[in-house]
Structure 1
């Protein structure tokens, strides 16, 4: 039996070709997430300091 190039590709081949790396999908939002988390942490630390003091 010979390979027929007109056949549709295997589902596993299509999935492997379209696979997206999780790290590469997160990298574009890092410049927005880090300052937002930093601001939230500063706010929480200030709130704790006022509450304790």
Structure 2
């Protein structure tokens, strides 16, 4: 007799921190651009 075949793949639990850090290279520059725009808008409005 042969050993039974195991076709079940164990699912590795996803790390929530790893899921967030994948998006950091896009989110941080985008947030910086929005902040610069808002600060420039406030400076022009107050001038």
TM-score, normalised to structure 1, is 0.62
Q: CA deviation at 1:19?
A: 3.1
Q: CA deviation at 1:42?
A: 0.2
- Corresponding residue for 2:40? 46
Q: CA deviation at 1:25?
A: 0.5
Residue 14 (structure 2) pairs with residue 20 (structure 1): yes
Give the paired residue count: 38
Identify unmatched segments of 5+ residues in structure 1.
1-16
Deviations 1:1-53 (A, max 9, x none): xxxxxxxxxxxxxxxx6532211101111000000000000000000000111
Q: Could you say what the CA RMSD is over the residues aligned between the two structures, in angstroms? A: 1.6
TM-score, normalised to structure 2, is 0.69
Higher share in helix: 1
